[in-house]
Amino acid sequence: MKISVQINASPYQHQTADTAWHFIQAALVSGHEVYRVFFYHDGIYNALRDSRPPGDERDIVKRWSELYRQSNIDLVVCVSSAQRRGLLEQSVAKKVGGYDKALADGFRIAGLGLLMEAVIDSDRHVTFGD
């Protein structure tokens, strides 16, 4: 089964990101394909390179980057949600003098068209968060 996932909550506000990550791990172990993970609304905070949780806490951003390295799953951050929260695509950040290395490894910024494509091309679409 081909699954797409949408995450709408920040990584440390709720257990949403952890639950989504564990869901994806279980799906992969069960032989399913995870087509795309789309980070929307406050979910874009899962992609911040400079997130530095204390050493005794989980590092969910690092988990997403490792998931990308291991499984090559498409990790897409909504461009509109990102811009509203100050996370700019690299070329835009350079133009306006913003921080151009804000995205963690494995993430990319794109529009809602990729969310719609994931919903259409997947057998199931699962949303985590409000």
Strand locations in the chain, DSSP E? 2-7, 33-39, 74-78, 107-110, 124-128
Q: Is 116 an annotated catalytic residue? A: no
Measured CA to CA, the distance from residue 126 to residue 43 in angstroms comes to: 14
Q: Are 60 and 21 in contact (CB under 8 A)?
A: yes
Measured CA to CA, the distance from residue 24 to residue 52 in angstroms comes to: 23
Catalytic residue among 17, 61, 78, 109: 78
What amino acid positions are annotated as catalytic residues?
78
